[in-house]
Structure 1
Amino acid sequence: MDANEAINYFPITLRIDGSRIVVVGGGNIAARKIRLLINKNAKIEVFAKTVCPELKQLHQNNCVELMGEMPLQAEFKNHIKTCRLVFIATNDHVYNKKISQWVMETNIPVCVVDNPKLSSFITPAIIDRDPVLIAISTGGAAPVLNRKIRQVIEPLLNQSVGKIAQFMGKYRTWVKKHLPNTCERRKLWEAFLDGQGSSLIESNNEKKCFDYLKALTKNYKTSFGEIALVGAGPGDPDLLTLKALHCLQNADVVLHDHLLSSEILNRVRRDAHLIYVGKQKKKHTVSQKEINELLQFYAYQGKKVVRLKGGDPFIFGRGGEEAEYLMNAHIPFRLIPGISAANGCASASGIPLTHRDCAQTCLILTGHTQEKKPLDVPWESMMNPHQTLVIYMGLGSLDFLCQELVKKGFPSSWPAAAIEKGTLPEQKIVTGTLENLAKLVTQHHFESPVLIIIGQVVSHRVISP
């Protein structure tokens, strides 16, 4: 295998209770791997001439069996025929490679610690809340990063999450008997977890918890679904709010717009139905009337529906129109705000939208024009030198917009900026003036989505050293 060749892994959880697991090596690294296995009811056999104090103690506690020095090739291959896994953890690279080859010839999964090239599997960083397991892997490329990610995730997990899983597993068959429909069962468990279920389990009161589950099951009935109008933020998936992420991971159906990245859509629950209803200039795939009807259709089926929009739904996202339609149709809905493109792109570019020295107000407009119609903006309201102008969808009308602002009184040297794909890694920014911004945008081959910022705040742009 070439040194730069990528190694691809597929994550699984492997049942090892009652299985034999062979570990080659008797040092601290071997002991570290064995710690992951000793509570999984596996029979662990250690081949090593000498072993560290920790392994001696584990042997005295009947947690591992010490097999002594490694046997010859034929005898070893015969010994591992019925084992589930082999770990190799010695500090001799040549020896590790030889043993790895023996194991691979028998088609037994093998892990050579800290050497993915000699391994057919690797062990991830693990968060264990039995029976809940979370595995984090970088494919062997960056073990330190594994640990860093684990440090971020572990504090977010309630210590009782394992008890919750145990309770749900215990009563899973009971719920299935009373609600044979898979979709209904999923919604029941979601209502259980979002309601009092988790707190009752945390208080160690299983009877009250089961009574609550029975009450939910008895009163369960199919009703209207719920619509969530969700703002996905300006583009960077890490700028999704926690509420938005919660909605995406609970949705049955997601109606999404054009400008949403695959990284954001990848955070939708895997079995949700994704429907593209995006609009592009001169390419209105689905009309607003059809979108409204789709929302109503899936709500009447009792689905949890997310209408996912870039930025914030109520800023040039037609969220207000859709909310009015749902309100008039008496369909329950929630509004989940998102970081707006104006706020997100300006901040990511280092441009303050207000500044006490030069801009005390901010006016947000759209530069989008209906086909064959002139740009219709409140010119008089825009002519305030102590104000920042933020223009959405202004790429096509930028040249005309800048010329008109100069004609109406702004100096041609008035600061202006254009931001393409703000907050994303491929973000592009140009700063200039009303006189040359349109030319700069053309020279740099800007494409939608582009946000325009006009005002003295552009001169106060900050760039981290």
Structure 2
Amino acid sequence: MQPEPGRVRLVGAGPGAADLLTVRALRAVEGAQALLYDALVADEVVALAPAACLKIQTGKRAGRASMRQETINRLMLRLARRGLQVVRLKGGDPSVFGRVGEEAAFLRGHGVEVEVVPGVTAASAAAAQFGFPLTHRGEARRLLIATASVRDGALADAGWAQAADPETTLALYMGRDRIEAALRRLIEHGRSPRTPALAVENAGRPDARLLAAPLERLGAEVAAAAFDGPVVVLVGEACALAQPAARGEVDPPQPLARRAP
């Protein structure tokens, strides 16, 4: 007799710190029977899964070897067909450059129930941690979340005119190795070279680093800093309000307590 098919939850782990998980995400991880997690998911988050949970690291970090997307899809399907409660754990929010649409479509196309659990995205975490708003009355009327690169790693050709709007805060993801070229392209399309700009490495984590510079200089500053972790770049007048000494924590985060079974 075939087991009842399980369910797959596509869960946002947030920017890294376990205490930035949503309650729903925490409950999903605590109830997982199989956990497929990306390389950027913190060890303290993975440790919240039950001891008996099957844990599989899938990679998924820019510029480094990772499991092929087709393999991840098939693995989720196989585990769900075994009747397991599967959690696919992604850094940040799964709907922001997390390929959630592809994975959900594949699973639903094979008759598997899917739930998406949102998470705190890097731009929000950076703004909270370093004390600046993403939108600001009179200065930043809109937020544009974009990626600097397209599928083959080349710099994207479209979208720079919208990003050059002086009333837009631009949050640029997945572009650590293309930052200088991306910021030059932004200036070429009309964004003032003197626009306040920030680069935040490991947003939301205790080891987060912030660089602040005018748009025309930020690329060189990032190159000199030799960042190794994930970087989000933010450009806009609201970025001038960033507090480099801020960390967004009054006390060190405490370990999350497990719920009673």
Aligned partners of 2:30, 2:186: CA distance in 1, in Å?
Answer: 45
Aligned partners of 1:388, 1:440: CA distance in 2, in Å?
Answer: 20
Aligned partners of 2:59, 2:158: CA distance in 1, in Å?
Answer: 25
Which deviates more, 442-451 or 315-324? 442-451
Cα distance change of structure 1 residues 343 and 377 upon mapping to structure 2, 3 Å threshold: farther
Q: What is aligned with 2:190?
A: 409
Aligned counterpart for 2:71 among listed residues 290, 294, 315: 290
Q: What is aligned with 2:258?
A: none
Cα distance change of structure 1 residues 282 and 412 upon mapping to structure 2, 3 Å threshold: closer
State the AA in 1 paired with 2:47: N
Q: What is aligned with 1:449?
A: 230
State the AA in 2 paired with 1:326: L
Offset from partner CA, 1:312-341 (integer Å, 9 cap, x none): 111100011111111111111211111111
Aligned partners of 1:330, 1:353: CA distance in 2, in Å?
Answer: 39
Aligned partners of 1:390, 1:321: CA distance in 2, in Å?
Answer: 23
Cα distance change of structure 1 residues 464 and 296 upon mapping to structure 2, 3 Å threshold: closer
Aligned counterpart for 1:337 among listed residues 86, 97, 118: 118
Q: What is aligned with 2:6?
A: 225
Aligned counterpart for 1:386 among listed residues 167, 172, 181: 167
Cα distance change of structure 1 residues 458 and 406 upon mapping to structure 2, 3 Å threshold: same
Q: What is aligned with 1:129?
A: none
Aligned positions of 1:10-159 closer than 5 A: none
Residue 434 of structure 1: how far off its partner (Å): 1.3
State the AA in 1 paired with 2:81: Y
Aligned partners of 2:143, 2:42: CA distance in 1, in Å?
Answer: 28
What value does the CA root-mean-square deviation take over the aligned residues?
1.7
> Are 2:127 and 1:353 equivalent residues in the alignment?
no
What's the secondary structure of 1:277's corresponding residue? Answer: strand
Residue 372 of structure 1: how far off its partner (Å): 6.2
How many residue pairs are counted as aligned between the two chains? Answer: 245
Q: What is aligned with 1:53?
A: none
Q: What is aligned with 2:106?
A: 325
Cα distance change of structure 1 residues 250 and 464 upon mapping to structure 2, 3 Å threshold: closer
Give the number of the structure whose alpha-carbon radius of gyration is greater: 1
Cα distance change of structure 1 residues 293 and 372 upon mapping to structure 2, 3 Å threshold: closer
Residue 464 of structure 1: how far off its partner (Å): 5.4
Q: What is aligned with 1:363?
A: 144
Q: What is aligned with 2:48?
A: 267
Aligned partners of 1:295, 1:372: CA distance in 2, in Å?
Answer: 27
Aligned counterpart for 2:214 among listed residues 433, 437, 446: 433
> Are 2:248 and 1:460 equivalent residues in the alignment?
no
Residue 243 of structure 1: how far off its partner (Å): 1.0
Q: What is aligned with 1:422?
A: 203
> Are 2:29 and 1:248 equivalent residues in the alignment?
yes
Offset from partner CA, 1:97-156 (integer Å, 9 cap, x none): xxxxxxxxxxxxxxxxxxxxxxxxxxxxxxxxxxxxxxxxxxxxxxxxxxxxxxxxxxxx
Cα distance change of structure 1 residues 316 and 458 upon mapping to structure 2, 3 Å threshold: same
State the AA in 1 paired with 2:57: Y
Aligned partners of 2:238, 2:27: CA distance in 1, in Å?
Answer: 36
Q: TM-score, normalised by structure 1?
A: 0.51
What's the secondary structure of 1:286's corresponding residue? Answer: coil
**Is the Cα contact below 8 Å between 2:155 and 2:178 reproduced in 1?**
no
Offset from partner CA, 1:153-210 (integer Å, 9 cap, x none): xxxxxxxxxxxxxxxxxxxxxxxxxxxxxxxxxxxxxxxxxxxxxxxxxxxxxxxxxx
Offset from partner CA, 1:252-298 (integer Å, 9 cap, x none): 10000010111111111111010111223343421111111011100
Residue 433 of structure 1: how far off its partner (Å): 1.0
Cα distance change of structure 1 residues 282 and 453 upon mapping to structure 2, 3 Å threshold: closer
**Is the Cα contact below 8 Å between 2:35 and 2:55 reproduced in 1?**
yes
Residue 394 of structure 1: how far off its partner (Å): 1.5
Cα distance change of structure 1 residues 464 and 418 upon mapping to structure 2, 3 Å threshold: closer
Residue 399 of structure 1: how far off its partner (Å): 0.6
State the AA in 2 paired with 1:263: E
State the AA in 2 paired with 1:304: Q
Stretches of structure 2 that go unaligned for 5 or more consecutive residues are 248-261
Stretches of structure 1 that go unaligned for 5 or more consecutive residues are 1-220
- Higher normalized helix content (fraction of residues): 1
Q: What is aligned with 2:38?
A: 257
Aligned partners of 2:64, 2:222: CA distance in 1, in Å?
Answer: 23
Q: What is aligned with 1:103?
A: none
- What stretches of structure 1 move > 6 A for 4+ residues in a row? none
What's the secondary structure of 1:399's corresponding residue? Answer: helix
Q: What is aligned with 2:86?
A: 305
Residue 442 of structure 1: how far off its partner (Å): 2.2
**Is the Cα contact below 8 Å between 2:12 and 2:92 reproduced in 1?**
yes
Cα distance change of structure 1 residues 364 and 427 upon mapping to structure 2, 3 Å threshold: same
Aligned partners of 1:439, 1:283: CA distance in 2, in Å?
Answer: 23
